[in-house]
Amino acid sequence: MASPLSSLSSYFNFASSKKGGSVIGIDFGSSSIKVVQLKLEGQTVVLETYGELQLGPYAKLEVGRATNLSAASMAEALTDILEEATVTTREAGVAVPYASSFVAVIELPTKDQDALSTIIPMEARKYVPVPIAQVTLDWFVIPERKGHEGDARSTRVLLAAIHNEALAKFKSVIKGAGVKSAFTEIEIFSTIRSSIQNHQDTVMVIDIGAASSKLYIVSLGVVQATHSVNVGGQDLTSSLSKSLELSMAEAEEIKRQVGLTAVDNPRIERALSFPLERIFSDARRMLALHEQEKGVMPASLVILSGGGAVLHGMEEYAEHALGRKVVRANPFSKVSYPAFLEKILVEIGPSFAVSMGVALRRLEE
């Protein structure tokens, strides 16, 4: 199984892939599974099929609710979506949820590259909140920033770890569904690959999932900081349910159909804004801390990804909350597809940022 960071250098180079045939990218979200199937024709990546399956019913919960399914139930759900989406290959890449991993930028007091392989596992014990024996560890030396006035004797390293228990579970799920997996990759790197168009910029990515939201700052194609907020789409539904005295199913439907654009019912916007403010207040603090550092480029853009990003009115809300340009992730812009799919793919794109990113990586293998 390939290391979590083994393709950092190829975020933006998928068109030079050598992989032939079709591949699928699989994103195990907390509330749904997303899959995309791609193939390479010359230097063009072509979308063959895609699909999403809600996991709530497999746990006897409402649609949109976060789940914690067994490996057997996840394998059943994966089998179902592969059949429903008429997936024709079993060559796959799998994204590991951020919640099953740990990502951090650390600074080490040495420039000796040969010494890093010895120092990092020891230093990682200070940052990884579980015993090192329980994780698969990897790292990447972050290139020095032009004009950065930090310690000339230190090295900044992007540290990543995945729980071995999670890797074992996903391996069992993949085997149970009859899928071949060449690698697993932490979802943050899949999102970056599919969602960032210009790796020369500094951007913030806000990935709003069902159970939590993830915040990433990426500069020159390299992760500079990460943060998780225990607020997600299901919290928006819950707030709406309580405010309007509706069932969770009814609130979920209103959230999907109306979102933040219900000008005739301010109670809906207020109910949704309360949990959203918890996400965006953390985003403001994260941006401020990043931009206080010397020698860094301020974030020129915020990209919204994840299922929560498709909420009507979210871009406008985020621009007001953060005071800078905000766009929704459009991962399908990196592949070729029939013109009649344009509207729907732009609409659902943020939800497929992870599965698209991991499929693009799979083409490189």
Q: What confidence tens digit (pLDDT) does each residue in 326-338 have?
A: 999 999 999 999 9
Q: What is the pTM of this model?
A: 0.89
- By 3-state DSSP, what share of the chain in percent is helix, strand and coil, each rounded to 5? 45, 25, 30
CA distances to 36, 209, 310, 350 from 234, in Å: 24, 8, 14, 17
Cα 90 to Cα 23: distance, rounded to the nearest angstrom: 7
Cα 212 to Cα 228: distance, rounded to the nearest angstrom: 7
Radius of gyration of the chain (CA): 20
Which residue positions in the chain have pLDDT lower than 70?
1-20, 144-152, 199-200, 263, 365
Whole-number pLDDT of residue 5? 47
Q: Are 226 and 23 in contact (CB under 8 A)?
A: no
Q: Where are any strands of DSSP class E within the chain?
A: 22-28, 32-41, 44-54, 91-96, 101-108, 135-141, 155-163, 180-186, 202-208, 213-219, 222-229, 301-305, 326-328
CA distances to 35, 195, 219, 278, 280 from 360, in Å: 12, 12, 21, 33, 30
Q: Are 96 and 167 in contact (CB under 8 A)?
A: yes
Q: What confidence tens digit (pLDDT) does each residue in 82-131 have?
A: 999 999 999 999 999 998 998 888 888 877 777 888 888 888 888 888 88
User: Which backbone phi and psi does 212 adopt, to 5 degrees?
Assistant: -155, 170
Torsion of CA 167, 221, 283, 130, to 10 degrees: 30
Closest CA to 218 of 320, 275, 301: 301
User: Can you list the domains of the chain with their CATH numbers?
Assistant: 8-364 (3.30.420.40)
Structure tokens at 307: 């299922």
The dihedral built from the CA positions of residue 228, 320, 262 and 327, taken in this order, carries a sign that is negative
Cα 210 to Cα 234: distance, rounded to the nearest angstrom: 5
Whole-number pLDDT of residue 146? 57
The position carrying tokens 């168009």 is 197
Whole-number pLDDT of residue 13? 41
Apex 81 CA angle, 24 and 312, nearest 5: 90
How many CB atoms sit inside 10 A of residue 5's CB? 19
Adjacent-strand bridge partners of 217: 204, 225
